[in-house]
Amino acid sequence: MLSKKQKKQLLKNKHSHSNKSNPDSDYISQMNAYRDLFSAVPEIGFLINNVLQSDRLIKSGILPQDLPELILPDNIQDQIFEIVNAKYAKGDPEGDKLWNQLTDALPKVDKLLRSYRDYLEETYGMWAYISAPFVSSIADYIGDKAVLEVMAGNGYISKGLQNLGKQVFPTDSLAWESENETGNHQVTNVEKLDALTAIEKYGNEVGYVIMSWSPDKDPIDVQVLQKIRNANNKELKLIVIGEKDGATNSAEFWKIANFIDEEAAAKINEHHQPFDLIKDQAYLVD
């Protein structure tokens, strides 16, 4: 299990990747091959099919569904042993061959499943995994109020809310365009504005500001929260998506954030369950 410090370092390394470094173009083809190889192993097939379906939807410009935890069960070798024994008699060389083939492939499948977030970041610039049910839960919470999204990246959250009839102002400084895929695959029109300027421009027109996956070494999140607290619009609230005291947002931000409406946040997070080592959640802050 990676420590919080190690996860932060991984995230820092990812942010510094140049978009000239192509993502693993074989990721999906490998997943397809392993789906065929493990077709008789239901638990592995289930996880792989979830990844493939998620990728198909995102590639089509549609928000995906929730993901299960993309981790192989501890007893997976026992399951494979039972499946092979049910198909082949004891001592049959074909059974031994299949056993070796499947168990040799397990570490590779495990690595691919655990790397799905990396694939999404490098291919689509999707840092937080944004599912359709998760966005629907956010939409239910905000009601009829308009929303400003800062650091919107490619605009997945904003586009999902727009599709549900919400008034949204997607904004981003687009400062990461030259370093990774953030801002290079916009799914809705993202206005080029830094977070503080965006709040100045739209703060009186919206009820909520959404900030997702703010970098952990950048104090901009503290400035955003202070800007909201000092805004003329005293009803303005912040919806944060990130990993508390972990891979996202500055340490100072988590110290000064006042968490509100925890029951409502829990309801939103019913459709934002972790699928890997990053345990990000939605938080309601003022």
What global pTM score does this model have? 0.88
Whether residues 137 and 211 fall in one domain: yes
pLDDT at residue 236 greater than cutoff 50: yes
> Do 246 and 146 belong together in one domain?
yes
pLDDT of residue 175: 80
Residues 106 and 156 in one domain: no
Residue 77 lies in a domain: yes
Quick one: 142 and 267 in the same domain?
A: yes
Identify the CA nearest to 113 among candidates 52, 70, 157: 70
In sequence order, which ranges of 60-146 are alpha helices (DSSP H)? Answer: 76-87, 93-114, 116-124, 132-142
58-99 pLDDT, tens digit each = 999 999 999 999 999 999 999 999 999 999 998 999 999 999
pLDDT band at 255 (very low <50, low <70, confident <90, very high): very high
Last residue in a domain, options 101, 124, 147: 124
In a domain, 152, yes or no: yes
- Are 74 and 197 part of one and the same domain? no
**Domain C-terminal end among 66, 89, 124:** 124
Give, to the nearest 10 degrees, the angle between helix 27-37 and helix 93-114: 150
- 84 within domain boundaries: yes
Please give the structure tokens belonging to residue 285: 């802050």
Higher-pLDDT residue of 120 and 6 is 120
Q: How does pLDDT run across 109-136, given as a tens digit for each residue? A: 999 999 999 999 999 999 999 999 999 9
**Domain-embedded: residue 235:** yes
Write 98-103 long-range contacts (CB < 8 A, 24+): 101/37, 102/37, 102/38, 102/41, 103/77
**Domain co-membership, 81 together with 136:** no
* Residues 61, 142 within the same domain: no
Q: Report the mean per-residue pLDDT for the chain.
A: 91
Which three-class secondary structure state does DSSP give residue 213?
coil
Number of domains making up the chain = 2
Residue 210: the pLDDT is 98
Does 120 share its domain with 69? yes
For position 273, which CATH number holds? 3.40.50.150
Q: In the numeric block, which tokens belong to residue 155?
A: 């605009």
pLDDT at residue 247 greater than cutoff 90: yes
Name the residue range of residue 153's domain: 132-285
Q: Average the pLDDT over each of 12-26, 155-169, 211-225 and give the range with the smallest value.
A: 12-26
Quick one: pLDDT at residue 3? Answer: 47
| pLDDT per residue as tens digits for the range 150-208 | 999 999 999 999 999 999 999 999 886 556 666 678 999 999 999 999 999 999 999 99
> What is the pLDDT confidence band of residue 25, given thresholds at 50, 70 and 90?
low
Pair 145, 254 in one domain = yes
Picking from 73, 103, 124, the residue at the C-terminal end of a domain is 124
Q: Computed over its alpha carbons, how large is the radius of gyration of the chain?
A: 21
Same domain, 92 and 212: no
* Confidence (pLDDT) at 182: 66
Q: Assess contact for 149 and 171: CB atoms under 8 A.
A: yes
Question: Does any domain span residue 41?
Answer: yes
**5: in domain:** no
Q: Answer yes or no: is 7 within a domain.
A: no
29 vs 31: CA distance, rounded Å: 5
| 261 and 170 co-located in one domain | yes
Q: H or E element: which one contains 284?
A: strand 281-285
Residues 142 and 281 in one domain: yes
- Please report whether residue 32 resides in a domain: yes
* CA 165 to chain CA mean position, Å: 23
With beta carbons less than 8 A apart as the criterion, state whether 242 and 283 touch.
yes
